[in-house]
A and B are shown apart, each in its own frame.
Chain A
């Protein structure tokens, strides 16, 4: 859909919600907890390279791998790297983005600082 300007977009094409909006329900979630939306969030992090491609535990449990993924994401996006899903992190996650992963084949170089030793993630390029 192409529009010459924003006023040309018909209201019928403006969605009430977005694909990642449901992640907002996960604010406050941290390691050891269980939550309904975590399987989808794990898919999100795997898609963008933050969880290993061989990672397969898409349960509703917030495990160690997810904590590392969240922490690495927070580092990459200049957020407070707590490993917990806080409001600032969710605010960033739900923003539309490029479909290319942030991490491929090793540690992330997105963040200018040194990633922590436990933030090393191995993924395979498509």
Chain B
């Protein structure tokens, strides 16, 4: 795991984070539920909680789907290529490429079209950035930079959990094995930032 330069994180006073969706996207409840599950994966292992609110401008984390140029100087590139990007804490901006073929149920067992991308997998990854994690070289980790189309990867790996717990500590109710592992120690900050 890695962190953004200078290890930015949400301040301790902000352990109860709110999130909202760009109203113009008019996302269905089914899509919103995918994000709810994605947030839950991070709250399971930390002391952070995530609550959806309706006010986009007042939310700590603001999620939107955009196509091509969308105002942050990092235009999306159409189907595949870059899928999404997110900003370091405490910016809270999380952008997804609106031109991707986002799949909700993530059932790729019967062979997926080359362009199908599992929404929850990418959502879990981008939330990792929102919380302060950079990219990881551990291929099993959620924070590994790439994901093949037609692939679903939503479970946090030990590497992800150690990284996020180094920033925010562990959820006292988390019984996973990773909490007993010794972190690998201070690392050079790097990873990714937008």
Contact = CB atoms under 8 A, between A and B. Distances in A.
B12 interface: no
Contact of B137 (A2, A9, A20, A112): A112
Contacts of A101: 192-193
Given A99-B85, A105-B190, A110-B145, 4 more contacts: A6-B103, A18-B81, A92-B146, A112-B184
A4 B5 contact: no
A76 interface: yes
Contacts of B184: 112
A109 B187 CA distance: 7
Interface in A95-117: 95-112
A19 B101 contact: no
B191 interface: yes
B68 to A, nearest CB: 12
Interface of B: 2-5, 27-28, 30-31, 72-74, 76-86, 98-105, 107-108, 110, 112-117, 119, 122, 125-126, 129, 134-139, 145-150, 184, 187-194
Interface of A: 1-7, 9, 13-15, 18-20, 48-49, 75-78, 92, 95-112, 125-126
A109 B112 contact: no
B110 A110 contact: no
Contacts, number: 168
Nearest to B116: A6
Contact of A98 (B78, B82, B137): B82
Given A104-B4, A109-B191, A99 B74 contact: yes
Contacts of A14: 101, 113-115
Given A18-B79, A96-B81, A106-B190, A3 B103 contact: yes
Contacts of B4: 104, 125
A111 B5 contact: no
B101 A5 contact: no
Contact of B145 (A15, A97, A105): A97
A20 B126 CA distance: 22
Given A2-B31, A9-B115, A109-B189, A99 B84 contact: yes
A95 to B, nearest CB: 4
Nearest to B82: A99
Contacts of B192: 49, 98, 100-104
Most buried by B among A6, A20, A103: A6
Nearest to B189: A109
A104 B194 CA distance: 10
